[in-house]
Structure 1
Amino acid sequence: MRLRLKSKSGTKTITPYPAAPFLVLLSQIAEIEELNPSGSGLVAIKHGFPPKPIDLKDEKTSTIAAKGIKDGDQLILEFGEGGGSQSVSSATTKPKSSQQSQPENNGVAMQYLSPDSNLFLRNIPDDNSCLFNAIVHAAMVDAHPLELRSVVANHIRGHPETYTEVILGQEPGKYCDWIIKKDSWGGAIELEILAEWFNIRIECLDIELCQFILFGKDQSSAPSYIVLIYSGIHYDYVAENAGGKDITSWPVESTTVLAASKKLGKKLQSQDYATNTTTFRVRCLVCYEVLVGEMGASKHAEKTGHYSFGEVK
């Protein structure tokens, strides 16, 4: 059996015996210092697509194979305080609490909500994964954008009757190969799939029109929604800051934040936050060719395999 171990600090390939006790694998992991330079405890092991945690119980009696680990698998290792816990819930399937610390007000715009709170625009870096990063922050999930890309690709493969070539604009297999690349831009298809995956509603405010587009409207069981801000080429998210804590999701029956988000959108319009995707110019950051509009960028990417773009101001 050949396994690839991956942590934030590095990767390592090992060849354990499938019938060996799971405890043997844990011991091997503990001995590889390059994967855990800080010496923290092992918090979780994830595998599969999307990555899901392996139950760390019964490590003395269960075998490696009995844990569902197969030859060629990649195991994602997470280390940190509290290592050694018996089980870990899947961070890519359920959102965390709707509050997190926000030490800096990095929003470029603010809207009054109440005497105790304001609504802020929270900026996401321009790294071609802004949609996925915005969802990670707003839904407060412990996941990497590449994991969300894998969720999308697997969902498309599992629903060929829905995601046809007509819907995707290209053959589904090619689309899946494209969307898992870190430089590929996500859009409406990805928002709808991830709204279903996380069982949330995503209210996406298009700044050019200053109108909401709702994703996950069929999620009748969804308890909450998040708000993304779309400029035409970039996604950010909004957060309600109260007492130094960010709140990034709200009950579906609450409309106060939606109304405040629209007012925030009007402010952003006046600051030229929106970009017209038909006429805007972008520069390929690989070959430096200047392209016009989303269509021009898409055709260039398909022709050259270049997916990294920056807006020409």
Structure 2
Amino acid sequence: MEALNWIASEMGRRFFSYLPEFLLLHSKANSWSRNSFDLFNPFIPSSVIKVSFYNYLFLLVPESGLLLPCTGLCCLVDSGALLFVMEGKIVRRVIPSDNSCLFNAVGYVMDHDRHKAPVLRQVIAATVASNPIKYSEAFLGKPNGKYCAWILNPEKWGGAIELSILADYYGREIAAYDIQTTRCDLYGQGKNYQERVMLIYDGLHYDALAISPSEGAPEEFDQTIFAAKDRTVGPVERLALNLVKEQQRKRSYTDTANFSLRCGVCYIGVIGQKEAMKHAQATGHVNFQEYR
């Protein structure tokens, strides 16, 4: 309903000259949001009507009565692949800082759900437990059984191992952009996955990346899954990298190798993550605060 209200507000109570009112009222504008999108096939089915209104473009599919907002860079309709390039906006969808940001960011881009952490932690633990040869102590940094108990603790963070497992679980590539270096770490690559999702990482925290039709559009219009072909997702990559570079210019990251921390127990200052880990191992103190 929020999505339809947003469409109505953008239309300013006007109607498209050739769009019957009943099609608008019976449209399912949010039904496309979890689909993947074909960026590479310019074929537009003849049955699809392109409907433009001000700076927004919609697609009317007469057979199904669907009115689809053409969000971001492309759309997909059930009757075939469709490409329509338009000016989209890449947005950073903030995930709560609750020690489970990686899992909930993945939940958002995969399922539009910010509360998937408990489920995804279970998925990872089950995957690791099922293959102790692959997920050995040398691979995990701790014994298999200990790791499984550790990852189920909601206070523990995820990283590269967990992203790799989740990419395989969903059968999609996960691109994680590092703000400090603008590097893109791609998980699930080389496995012929046909789709990709994107995250952004500031050194301590993960958020989700999405394409939105405009500033202020409801999140249910977000496109988070993109078709991958020849190791690229087309122009979406440029938009993502531009956003990451902008965040880098603003220094919206934490340099975990050189940031200054103070122990919250004994108030000793340390520099960087390595010194903090050494202090924690020596004293058992794990409460640190950053200071400048």
TM-score between the two structures when normalised by the length of structure 2: 0.61
Question: For the aligned residues, what is the CA RMSD?
Answer: 2.9
Change (3 A) 1:299 1:198: farther
Q: Does 1:158 align with 2:130?
A: yes
Q: Using the TM superposition, give the Cα deviation of residue 201 of structure 1 relative to its aligned residue in structure 2, in angstroms.
A: 0.4
Distance 2:222 2:269 in 1: 39
Provide the rounded CA distance (Å) in 1 between the counterparts of 2:165 and 2:266.
32
Name the CA distance, whole Å, in 1 between partners of 2:35 and 2:267.
Answer: 41
1:308 to partner: Cα distance: 6.9
**Could you tell me which residue of structure 2 aligns to residue 206 of structure 1?**
178
Q: Which has the higher contact order (CA 8 A, sep 6+)?
A: 2
Aligned letter for 1:133? Answer: N
The answer (yes or no) to whether the contact 1:98–1:139 under 8 Å persists in 2 is no
> How far is 1:193 from its partner?
0.3
Q: Secondary structure at the match of 1:210?
A: coil
Contact 1:285 1:309 in 2 (8 A): yes
**Identity across the alignment (%):** 37
- Give me the whole-angstrom Cα distance separating, in 2, the residues matched to 1:188 and 1:180: 16
Q: Distance in 2 between matches of 1:130 and 1:299?
A: 25
Q: In the alignment, does 2:20 pair up with 1:97? A: no
Please name the residue that 1:109 is paired with.
none
The change in CA–CA distance for 1:127 and 1:215 in structure 2 (over 3 A counts) is same
The match for 2:227 is 251
What does residue 250 of structure 2 align with? 271
Matches within 5 A, 1:210-229: 210-220=182-192, 222-229=193-200
Is 1:235–2:206 an aligned residue pair? Answer: yes
Q: Give the secondary structure class of the aligned counterpart of 1:135.
A: helix
Count of aligned pairs between the two proteins: 205
Structure 1 length as normaliser, TM-score? 0.57
Deviations 1:200-226 (A, max 9, x none): 100111122212111011432x33111
Give 1 or 2: higher strand fraction.
1
TM-superposition CA deviations, 1:264-293 (whole Å, max 9, x none) = 111010111122221224567788776543
For structure 1, the residue ranges without an aligned partner over 5 or more in a row are: 1-95, 100-111
| Kept in 2: contact 1:130–1:234 (CA 8 A) | yes
Q: Distance in 1 between matches of 2:156 and 2:99?
A: 6
SS at match of 1:236: strand
CA 1:154–1:116: 2 relative to 1, 3 Å: same
